[in-house]
Amino acid sequence: MSKKPFVSKEKLDEIAAQYATPFYLYDETAIRETARRVNKAFAWNQGFKEYFAVKATPNPAILKILHEEGCGADCSSYTELQMADAVGFKGDEIMFSSNATPAEDFQLARQLNVTINLDDITHIDFLEKVADIPDTVSCRYNPGGHFAIANNIMDNPGDAKYGMTREQMTEAYKILLSKGVKHFGMHAFLASNTVTNDYYPELARILFQVAVELKEETGAHIEFINLSGGVGIPYRPDQEGNDIMVIGEGVRQAFEDILVPAGMGDVKIFTEMGRYMLAPYGALVAKAIHVKHTYKEYIGLDACAANLMRPAMYGSYHHITVMGKEDAPCDHKYDITGGLCENNDKFAIDRMLPEINIGDLLFIHDAGAHGFAMGYNYNGKLRSAEVLLKEDGSTELIRRAETPADYFATFDFTGLFKNI
């Protein structure tokens, strides 16, 4: 089986002639369509908002598109808050979910009047000490143990560094009430990259039940429940993807079963998806620049793990299309590598692909989230450009490629690199 690139070979040749490889390419049409589909899936909830996880794809042009489609921004750091604010997200359009949070991050969050999601009960006193306690506060819940769906273990929240215990949630709400908080939120993240329509509905049932209990125990007005992220994508071509309409209906049923009978039918549902919103609609485009015949067959690209580290870091699968050879037989076994001085710098290992020649363009799929964002400068490698394929078929440079001057910029006080 194979995946189809969202751009033709002819179009990609044209783009690659304008922007030097490697570069990231994003599909504006599909990004907008997905945002609209998510909003439709949860339209039954009047207060619904998708807070896009900025960490997944921190590019102002992408954030602007999502803002235009009614999304908010989920931020986790000082600079992400700055980016969201600069793009135009204001106030409660921004959710600030962080951990081990520096004082200056909380201070900026309060200055921007965003919704703060506290990761730990000790952060209540810390927030009050470094800034103040706002009228609306969310708390992050971790139920511990293992999270399973139909006896299949999905993840292990008990080992995760995020969130408060069940007992701490009650205590936190009581403390916050005593400090004048009037509106409360709940938040939880129990599993990553789930490819099942059951994840959000199961998570919703857990959170909805806890919300009812917290209201009864504390009297707090719970204004919103944030299902966070975790809705994944089918990285492999033989996987079946999630159906967001089915997922939305499953959450609605849980809402009707648990919250409505408890008199909590006014609760707003939030999500914080990054991968689902962007991953399939971004690709790393690279060129084959070396062919090596030793104990294995290697294809060396002008991209490396510094451009896309997920395969090297997690052993993650990213499908690869050799442009122009989509229908050719996959009768060659290759390791697809980059040029880092690390043996794990491989985009694919023992991958069956069509014969690859020097100069071929490779389209590395599903890199639109946690792709460019996780890049780094090991070996002095420079981050690539990011390009937007617009709805009208034109392209826009939305981040230029780094230069050696950028790499040496933090040594500007030395005078050593002033001529670069």
Active site residues: 341
Q: 190 with 210: CB under 8 angstroms?
A: no
Distance between CA atoms of 97 and 284, rounded to whole angstroms? 28
Neighbouring C-alpha atoms within 13 Å toward the C-beta of 265: 7
Nearest in space to 224 (alpha carbons), one of 274, 259, 248:
259
Nearest in space to 55 (alpha carbons), one of 277, 337, 222:
277
- Exposed, middle or buried by CB within 10 Å (0-12, 13-18, 19+), for 179? middle
Q: 56 with 280: CB under 8 angstroms?
A: no
Q: Which residues are CB-neighbours of 25 under 8 A, at least 6 positions away?
A: 7, 12, 15, 282, 283, 285, 387, 388, 389
Distance between CA atoms of 320 and 95, rounded to whole angstroms? 35
Q: Which two structure tokens, joined as six digits, stand for 92? A: 């409660």
Looking at residue 43, what DSSP letter applies?
T
**Exposure class string for 118-139: b at 16+ Cβ within 10 A, else e:** bbbbebbeebeebbebbebbbb
* Amino acid found at 20: A
Q: 109 with 81: CB under 8 angstroms?
A: yes
Report residue 27: phi and psi, to 5°.
-105, 100
Residues in the chain: 420
Q: 401 with 41: CB under 8 angstroms?
A: no
Q: 60 with 88: CB under 8 angstroms?
A: no
E strand or H helix that includes residue 225? strand 222-226
DSSP letter for each residue of 317-361: ---EEETT-TTS---EEEEEE-SSSSTT-EEEEEEEES---TT-E
Three-state SS string across 65-87, please? Answer: HHHHCCCEEEECCHHHHHHHHHH
